[in-house]
């Protein structure tokens, strides 16, 4: 069994760029665009416990920002369990991480993100 820890340096810039775009879009009040960047950061970082948990933390904060009980209560178990599942390599590949999708369901990864994984020579499970 492979244990995952830190996000590889080849993915760090992509992950941090998505988080920066999230913050930027939030500051402009473009909440739907901001959320899309959180989902992309989630997909990029979901194999790595710290990165995965951090995005769920940001999603929980976003839930408070938009006053969404569904998002708030949906993020709490994801925040608690997501990092553990990442550590042991048992994640639902491509899952965008929001409370609007089943937490254990895999999704197809969009081409742009697949290309990032290929370029970084990192494969999502």
* pLDDT tens figures, 71-99: 999 999 999 888 878 877 788 899 999 99
- The answer to whether position 4 is within a domain reads no
Query: Is the Cβ–Cβ distance between 31 and 75 less than 8 Å?
Result: no
- The answer to whether position 124 is within a domain reads no
Average pLDDT of the chain? Answer: 91
For the chain, give the percent of residues with pLDDT over 90. Answer: 74
Q: What is the pLDDT of residue 87?
A: 77
- The answer to whether position 106 is within a domain reads yes
Q: What is the pLDDT of residue 3?
A: 63
Token pair recorded at residue 73: 């209560």
Q: Which domain holds residue 56?
A: 9-119
- Rounded CA-CA distance 33/23 in Å is 10
- The answer to whether position 13 is within a domain reads yes
Each residue's pLDDT tens digit, 41-56: 999 999 999 999 999 9
- The answer to whether position 2 is within a domain reads no
Q: What is the pLDDT of residue 82?
A: 84
Please name which of 6, 4, 17 lies closest in space to residue 116, comparing C-alpha atoms: 17
Q: What is the pTM of this model?
A: 0.91
- The answer to whether position 38 is within a domain reads yes
Q: What is the pLDDT of residue 121?
A: 77
Instruction: Examine the pLDDT at 66 and tell me if it is beyond 60.
Output: yes
Q: What is the pLDDT of residue 96?
A: 96
- The answer to whether position 86 is within a domain reads yes
- The answer to whether position 100 is within a domain reads yes
Counted domains in the chain:
1
pLDDT bin (cut points 50, 70, 90) of residue 2 is low
């Amino acid at each position: 069994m492979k244990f995952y820890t830190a996000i590889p340096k080849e993915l760090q810039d992509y992950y941090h760029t998505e988080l920066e775009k999230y913050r930027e879009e939030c500051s402009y009040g473009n909440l739907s665009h901001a959320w899309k960047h959180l989902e992309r950061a989630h997909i990029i970082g979901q194999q790595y416990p710290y990165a995965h948990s951090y995005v769920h933390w940001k999603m929980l904060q976003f839930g408070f920002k938009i006053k969404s009980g569904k998002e708030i209560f949906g993020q709490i178990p994801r925040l608690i369990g997501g990092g553990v599942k990442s550590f042991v390599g048992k994640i639902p590949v491509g899952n965008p991480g929001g409370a609007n999708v089943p937490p254990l369901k895999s999704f197809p990864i969009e081409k742009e993100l697949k290309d990032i994984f290929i370029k970084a020579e990192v494969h999502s499970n």
